[in-house]
Structure 1
Amino acid sequence: MKTKKEVIEDLKRDIRDQGYPHYKMYNKKDKLVGTMYIKEKMDYGFHIYFIHEPDESNPIAGIDGIVTEMFYDLRNREYWIKRNMKPVMFSVRNVDSIFPSSYGEGREKVFDMLSTEANKGLYEEAMRYLGSMGDERTQMYGRFFHRLITEHSYFELLYKAKIPVRKGMIIMNREGTSPREILGLTKTQWKMYTKYGCSIDSVRNGFNEEADKRAINLLAYVKTLEVEFGIDKIRIFVEREFEYLYGKNPWRIPALRVAKQYNIPEKTLIRYIYFECDVSQGLSARDAIDQYEDYIRMTVEMGYERFDRYPKFLRTAHDIAARNYRIKLDEEQLKEWDERLEDNKKFESVVGDYKVFPPEKPEDLVREGNVLGHCVGSYVDKVRKGISTILFLRERQDLECPLVTIEVRDKRIVQARGKMNNPPTQDQKQAVKKFAKKFDLAV
């Protein structure tokens, strides 16, 4: 009867004689560590041997050279490791013993040998995602192979569906049998992602069939406009409108809310804001919505019965409306303004070469808006009612020259606009930040 050592030596000879594709691994001193033999590779896994060279100083190699066998089947979730023909735990350490990355072996070669045409790139991408997580700094074969098949087998399905998996990505159902189930998307949301190129995060809005149907209908309309006008707008449309569409509280003004508030046909406004203003007026969707919302609000509040709902020159129409906006306050309203002014004076302060202070009279808002070319002149009622606090940032040596208009709301600086709604200069930004810090305001 053969000894255990003889049986293992026979196994080594048999593996070497089979003609399996193999790859020799060396350490940094060019010493042979061992050889990996590919018994079988599939689109969903592999079956390999690794024969360690004898090394008395390395318990994983052993004095006679240990044979490690690994079977890895992602499709059926079957995986095991044997060392010298004896089953051992499928652990990070035992997997790492087959792929001694600590010896500096190029993983590109290893992954190339383990891959088929159908899964080419899978292991490399999975290594980036799973090889080190959290505070782990070093990517390890053992970590990623172990995690991929025990906790993150969904990665294979997503990868083969060409869905990039990134750190922090929310996986709704790790045991899902399709990418849609794994990501927790409705059929309509899946269509938004696959047909219209929406990001997964933007379409993942729970199970709201009514909102889903409305969203897909609007996306189809935006797509026809993209073809007609020859520009891409779906991404910015989704960013701007979906929070509102799904009943969330958007932090940017959505065109859909403006349409509902002022009884404007949704699709007509979408066409105007996202496409006509861009092509004919050179306005970004962000600027067009902001300008339009101010324009329509002022015209409605001023009681205009007949006005151009879709001006050919929106910025000009907006500026004219701002100049004509009612700023005359009655005695009671003026009293409220003065009371609010006393309260707003607490923000009056010097910040380096600049001074921050509130407007004394409603007319000051109009002048600020006219000089800087923005709509702050229409904020009289907001200031009077305490909805917003408007402050002027000006140079200490020239307090009559408008530079930056600041809006404070709910202990937060929500806007800081320079001429023509442009951002402040770097020096002005620093002054705004110092001012915010002084009064404990979020920015």
Structure 2
Amino acid sequence: MNKRSLSRIEKPKASENMIRLAKRTDGDRYIATAKIIDVDGEKILLLNFFQRSELVKEKTGAAFRTFISRSDYITQDLSSARVKWKTGSFKSILGWYWWNTKEKGHDVTFASDSDFISAKYYMKAYFEGEDPNVWDAIWKFQDEVLDRRLKAKHKKETDKIDKKMEMVPEKPEGFEKWVHEIAMGDKRYLVYEAASKKKMTTGYCTYCKRTVRIDVKSVQPRNKKRGNCPNCGSPVTFIPKGYFPTYQRDSKWVCLMQKVSTVIVSRYFHVHQEIQRDYNYKESFSISELCRAFLEEDNVEIKIDSYEWGIYKQHGLPRWCPDQNHKNCASAVVYTENLPEVFKGTFYRYCALDLYQKKLACDPVPVWRFMNTYPRYTYLEMFLKAGLVNLTGEIVEGHAYELDLNGKTPETILGISKKYISILREIDGGTAELRLLKQCESDNILPQGEDIRGFCERFGGNDELIGVINAHMSIRKFNKYMDKQRTVLPKHKEVPCHAAWCSPESYSKKERMREGYRNLAKDWLDYISWSATLKYDIKDMYVLLPPDFGKAHDRVMKEYQAFKDEQERKRQEELEKLIKKALDAAEGIPAMMMKARGLMIILPKSGSEIKEEGRTLHHCVGTYVERVAKGETMILFIRKETAPDVPYFTLEYRDGKVIQCRGKKNCGMTKDVKAFVKAFERKMKEESEAENSVKGRRAG
């Protein structure tokens, strides 16, 4: 429909009959007229809508009008002076529609029978049932138009996606074999008959599908222990037959990268493997491609368009759709056979992603984090070639807090010299090991790589602990000492914590072992600190590493506590002396003994009285004792004259004014207390002025 031609049609005016109809009815919001007109040689149904509330006021202008052709519709808003069009259907424009009665309503009535007949004749192709409804027919027609518009809109998007997907080449020959052999290489099992007292037992390898004999003494099979199949030599996980589930299900994401012109496409496949115990360990294997990401270089910036296989816009049929983050393929095992060819001529030609994956064997790599990180930190290639795989992983994951990521050389990036870098390379250390080596270099200690690794496995990257150790002994000696002490610790019945119930894997036996070592190290640091305070000779190895650490720790703890108690007692005595001196100086002030309105001021005699006042009235005045001792403030008690020994209100006086006055549980002052406090403040001011006047005269 031509909007210009439609807008030139004369705007409708309401007739006298329509105004009278509006005044007689009160159940409808709109009164409509309908007529079939000819526009540019096409028959069009014109519906004019007049608001009943405006007709009652004898305003004859229409609110809006709708033009309906055989294939489209459009609505003109007549409430605006300028031409304004709406594409919404009557469902959004007319609004309310009720279903509670047998007759359906739309808050609209036709102005006359001729209007109804015109609309009914034009929309007859959309009538249903014996009692056709004009508005239902119009709604059905508009729904068809909206659906057609939506399909056209979606087609523009899906055509672009389909065109992009047509560029993706076929999977390389041997890709599925690689998935089965390499990517899922850690998902092979040897199910064996448990036989603790036998020399030989039997098992079934799910990879070579053979029953094998196992030498128990040499192989020593254990549940979930890694080993090799005696028949095919393949790496397998040993599982006793009684522990093997009915359905052993394993899944993993794998990533295949391919070159399409100047674009790198990453294809993510979800691999699912299932082994059924009751069907002679029958294995089923499926590979489903669920995600695709297109990476394009634009100067220095990297543009990524990602898609997933799913339901597009609730249409019901699966296809490639824009990424909705429904699939978690952040980490995947990367197919490395074609990477040199894929990255050739691109910014990633030296990124060493293939080396990263080969170092991790069949463990997943955070592919897109790596691809996003590499343009900023191109030295990842250098770290990978140096064997620093763990450190590379921490940089990619954003956990490398010990590095100067803007450095240019390995020494400036890592913050350690070459001989310490060689130790880090030897143990393939991460951030924790790097922190320890930094501390060792600071202490001018050159440790062995295995000692650093062992320390980190036990205590993490605790540079404070290793700094104390370096001052007195070798790291190896400390590791051995802690191993010995941990074996003699009393064993308690383990009660799993909340974290263990939520995530049992994160609270494994290995993690509990680390927690035990770290708690022991904390106790040792406390022990050394207490010993130094008590003037023990911590250079003496017998003191530094007592044969029975538990007993030595408890003994020194008691001595240290007694020492601290004695220090506190002396401090309190000194504090009381200072408080008494400050209070004695205030005794001569008349206002400090003021009585009025049944209330009185009482000067505390000691710091303990102030603390007792706070405990009785449940407020924090007890914490003001030291400030009183230093002369920074003054604490006074307000008591009733009838009960001078019962705490009532507590007052703080400082710098010539009352700072606060609190009662029980920090309650505010009553009217009589407030008046008493004002009188006290005024009297203190008068006495201060009088004293200053006397001093002035003496000086003159």
TM-score (norm: length of structure 2): 0.27
Query: Looking at both structures, which has the greater relative contact order when contacts are Cα pairs under 8 Å and sequence separation is at least 6?
Result: 1
Larger Rg: 2
Counting strand residues as a fraction of each chain, which structure ranks higher? 2
